[in-house]
Amino acid sequence: MSYSKMVIPNRSNHEWRYTPWEKIHPSKVETVPAIKSARVQLNGKQIEAQSVRDYDSNAEISRMFLQETNNSMHSITIDESQDCNFVEIESDESQVVCHVHITVESSTALQIIFKGNCNWFGIHITSDIKANSNLIVGILNDLSKECKLLRCEDWNIHRDSHLTYGELSIGGGYAKSDIRTTLSGSNAGLIQSIAVITEEKRHDDHHIEILHKSGHTNSSLTVNSSCSDRGHAIGTGLLMIEENCDGTDAGQVFKNLLLSDRARAESLPELEVLSDDVSAAHGAASSPIDENQLHYLMARGFTPKHAKSLIVEGFLVSSFSKISDDNVRLFLLDSLNKHLNQNLED
Amino acid sequence: MSDEAMNAVGDYRYGFHDPENATIRFDKGLSEKVVRDISKLKDEPEWMTEMRVKAYHHFVSRPMPDWGNCNMLESIDFDNVTYFLRSSNRTENDWDEVPDDIKNTFNRLGIPEAEQKWLGGVTAQYESEAVYHSIREDLEEQGVIFLDMDSGLKEHPELVKKFFGTVIPYADNKFSALNTAVWSGGSFIYVPKGVHVEMPVQAYFRINAKNMGQFERTLIIVDEGSSLHYVEGCTAPTYSTDSLHSAVVELIAMKDAKIRYSTVQNWSANVYNLVTKRGVAHENAVVEWVDGNIGSKLTMKYPAVVLKGEGAHAEVISVAYAGEGQHQDAGAKVHHLAPNTTSNILSKSISKNGGRSSYRGLLKVNPMAHGCRSKVVCDALMLDEDSRSDTYPTMEVSNSTADLEHEASVSKISGNQLFYLMSRGFSEEEAMGLIVNGFFEPFTRELPMEYAVELNKLLELEMEGSIG
């Protein structure tokens, strides 16, 4: 199967209900343009695209499209030699695509940032977290407002390994992220915390799949979205527990804070459970800003704008409380503060 | 019943069937001619015939849903279904006038007895049309109209024309189009302003023939400040070939009105149950769906409420039991269109012996729905490792003052609860039965007593042999 033979998904597929494929495609939907690769730096050193990735003929449409636009790959292996590794993926080209494969064989931390002034940014991150490893990763999407982002991630966590994943999504005016994690070995664990800000006309669609393929695995997903102006936040989650996965403990929570009359939020936390001795739960909540909190802060001298900003900060900061690595947590918190302060100055 | 028939029926108590004594039976298969013939046979007005024909063409051109259990949906053979079968030439209002074989069936189902004890009115539908119908005189005197749908169209054509298809248009989905094309039977109820119908009214739907399609159409209008409790039950014989049940139910609750619609669906495991149910609640009105799904091969049913008037409220309580070979794809949908509207959805499901239960829900808040509140709770129990449970909720919020919550959990029966009961002398099977009844209790307590007792018995029956 190649992209040209694939059926364009329609809205009945919940993954594409709010962000049609036609809108996230960089040109005409039937074409596959050849697109240059972005610059990738690891700890300040440029990494060249070394290898040609294996063609996956069973990939879903966005992964298939990304691999056909550019099939080179940046391979990164991270170890304990640094306290925290820093990967920067950047470009100012009109359209850019990038594939990064991360291999983790020890306990380490990693910060990833996407930035640049391109019009369309396609990124595919794949990762193998080998047995007995531990990765704490913080991802910052800080692309320009004009940029469209198509992002796919595939994380594979092997036995006795753990991934702590934090993300702050503030960049790219129209962003579609498809993040899939497989817990393939027993005792694998995942903590995933995502904070989203949609303001002005920003559209942010996160599709998050977590697949438990082995027993005694655990996962926890939290997505906190703050929506203001005409922002539109979408969170679709699919938590799957396969057969013979007894002892699995999984949960996902989507929370939306709606700050304006024209802001919108959609949450679809889905569960598919095929094992009986498991604990699986999900929750979703949408609510306005708490007037009592606002009143409390304003009574202490904050302007309404500042008080709102503080409440939003508190709401989003709580997403990152489970990130145990100080470097990664501070990286996300500083970026969040900087963004909110910038908005206050504007 | 012969031993052979008994074996085929198994645990399903209502799996018996009577010899078919049809007075009119259409050939299997669907065409525009069949649609026009049904309409002609019923001597319907022109507008209804035209609506049926339009719906038929929509049904033919519309693809099958590409979500839900696509494999089961694709296996429905629409050409092998009988779309109309008349068992009795008239709708009687005295059980003694109903043909003996049909009367015996309803006696075995306990309908006449229930009618005498606690019902305000009864419609009994056998195959395509109602065979018995009655309403208490005092309700009739207060202006309550309770008829089978065919009689409703004949006797109150203007009222039917005004409301028919306004809540669920034929183009709503493939199966609402099918129902609109070939509908027959169902209930038509109008409760005038300020009338509270204290005793529930009931409709009972029975499929008896093989490869039968039942397409009843129900329209309930409760006028300002009135209330109604409508109860629906359904069973079918167990055959090796499949039957199709595709109903459409439209509820309209005017200002300050209240409608409660209770169903315990107990079709045999060879019935496809593809039903569209939706209610509209005007200002300060309440629409409640109490929905139990125990039987059928595949159920796809998502009772919906459109909260159209300020202060309207929706309540959906649903339970599903999915046993061997069953897929209960059920849920609820609520559209908050007006300010200060509220809704509660409680869904409980049990999967056993490889059964699959899915909750599929939608909670939608429109930009004008200021200050609306909603809570959705879904709990699933899985009784063995071969079963499956899914949850597919959707929340779409376009108003910043809305306050919505959704929570769901999937688990097995707690070992502690089992141990506690067994240490007090219950067998493991009895203990599981008690826990399951307790799990469904928020649903059964909302049912009329007789239905609740019946449901508990059914669940006990389903739980038999669940150990080992």
Domain parsing of chain A, residue ranges = 3-288
Structural domain boundaries, residue B24: 3-301
- Which tens digits make up the pLDDT trace of A243-262? 989 889 999 999 999 999 88
Asked if B291 and B263 touch (Cβ cutoff 8 Å), the reply is: yes
Question: Which residue of A lies nearest to B399 if distances are taken between CA atoms?
Answer: A261
Question: A148 is written with which tokens?
Answer: 């469209």
For chain B, positions 210-229, list CB contacts with chain A under 8 A.
Answer: none
B172 occurs within a structural domain: yes
Asked if B149 and B133 touch (Cβ cutoff 8 Å), the reply is: no
ipTM of the complex: 0.76
A284–B405 CB contact, under 8 Å: yes
Asked if A279 and A249 touch (Cβ cutoff 8 Å), the reply is: yes
- Which tens digits make up the pLDDT trace of A113-161? 999 999 999 999 999 999 999 999 999 999 999 999 999 999 999 999 9
B411–A278 CB contact, under 8 Å: yes
Q: CA A250, CA A239: separation in Å to the nearest integer?
A: 8
Domain boundary among B279, B301, B323: B301
- Which tens digits make up the pLDDT trace of A285-329? 988 888 899 999 999 999 999 999 999 999 999 889 999 999 999
Q: Which residues of A touch B398 (CB under 8 A)?
A: 264
Residues B428 and B290 in one domain: no
**What is the least distance, in Å, from the CA of A115 to any CA of chain B?**
30
pLDDT number for residue B442:
83
pLDDT number for residue B136:
78
B395–A266 CB contact, under 8 Å: yes
Q: Is the pLDDT of residue A85 over 60?
A: yes
B183: three-class secondary structure by DSSP: coil
Q: Which residues of B touch A258 (CB under 8 A)?
A: 397, 399-402
- What string of pLDDT tens digits covers the 468 residues of chain B? 334 434 434 455 566 666 666 667 788 889 999 999 999 999 999 999 999 999 999 999 999 998 888 889 999 999 999 898 887 767 777 777 777 777 777 777 677 777 666 677 777 777 777 777 777 778 888 999 999 899 999 999 999 999 999 999 999 999 999 999 999 989 999 999 999 998 888 888 887 777 788 899 999 999 999 999 998 887 666 666 788 999 999 999 999 999 999 988 888 888 999 999 999 999 999 999 999 898 899 999 999 999 999 999 999 999 899 999 999 999 999 999 999 999 999 999 999 889 999 999 999 999 999 999 999 998 898 888 888 999 998 999 998 889 998 888 888 888 888 899 999 999 888 888 888 888 888 888 777 766 676 666 666 666 665 443
Whether residue B10 lies within 8 A of chain A, CB to CB, comes out as no
pLDDT number for residue B330:
94
pLDDT-based confidence at residue A189 (cuts at 50, 70, 90): very high
**What is the least distance, in Å, from the CA of A272 to any CA of chain B?**
4
Q: Which residues of A touch B396 (CB under 8 A)?
A: 264, 266
**Interface contacts A/B by beta carbons within 8 Å:** 118
A258–B382 CB contact, under 8 Å: no
Is the pTM higher than 0.95?
no
**What is the least distance, in Å, from the CA of A211 to any CA of chain B?**
14
Helix or strand run (H / E) with residue B129: strand B129-135
Query: For B333, phi and psi rounded to 5 degrees?
Result: -135, 135
Q: Which residues of A touch B406 (CB under 8 A)?
A: 267, 269, 282-285
Domain boundary among B243, B266, B301: B301
A284–B406 CB contact, under 8 Å: yes
Asked if A38 and A97 touch (Cβ cutoff 8 Å), the reply is: yes
**What is the least distance, in Å, from the CA of A239 to any CA of chain B?**
9
- Which tens digits make up the pLDDT trace of A199-245? 999 999 999 999 999 999 999 999 999 999 999 999 999 999 999 89
pLDDT number for residue A120:
95
What number is the average pLDDT over the span A42-71?
A: 88
Asked if A238 and A223 touch (Cβ cutoff 8 Å), the reply is: no
A12–B384 CB contact, under 8 Å: no
Domain boundary among B301, B321, B338: B301
Q: Which residues of A touch B354 (CB under 8 A)?
A: none
Q: CA B253, CA A22: separation in Å to the nearest integer?
A: 41
Mutate to test the interface with B, among A226, A270, A294, A315 (most CBs of B within 10 A): A270
Q: Where are the alpha helices (DSSP H) in B85-127?
A: 100-108, 111-118
B381: three-class secondary structure by DSSP: strand
In the block, residue with structure tokens 């139990």 = B292
Q: CA A53, CA A50: separation in Å to the nearest integer?
A: 9
What number is the average pLDDT over the span A2-17?
A: 86
Q: What percent of chain A lies above the pLDDT cut of 90?
A: 76
A281–B67 CB contact, under 8 Å: no
B231: three-class secondary structure by DSSP: strand
Helix or strand run (H / E) with residue A330: helix A326-345
Strands B85-86 and B24-25: antiparallel
Please count the structural domains in chain B.
2
B101: three-class secondary structure by DSSP: helix
Q: Which residues of A touch B67 (CB under 8 A)?
A: 12-13
